[in-house]
Amino acid sequence: MTLDKQAVEKLLALNDKQLAMVIKKLTAEAGIDPSLFQMTPGNIQALRTALSMATDEDLARASEQLAKLRKNKEEG
């Protein structure tokens, strides 16, 4: 998944349960234990706020980090 403004808009359109599922899937694909992320209503709202305020640079940096994590998982 490439994180850009269009992807963020799609994520923000999801309901809380759907958004939590996507986040857990992305973290698992990146080799991060999804159980480390507590998806409480407060955390989901904070995530929505952060996504809505993210700049193009923030999204590019996050995409790079996810790609590195995936690569490390595949190599490891």
Give pLDDT tens digits for 54-66: 999 999 998 888 8
Which residue shows structure tokens 């899937």?
25
Q: What pTM was estimated for this model as a whole? A: 0.79
Task: Report pLDDT digits (tens) over 5-45.
Answer: 999 999 999 999 999 999 888 888 888 888 887 889 999 99
**What is the rounded CA–CA span in Å between residue 33 and residue 55?**
26
Contact in structure between 48 and 15 (CB atoms under 8 Å): no
> Cα–chain-centroid distance for residue 39?
12
SS3 42: helix
Residue type for position 18? Q
At 3 the pLDDT is 83
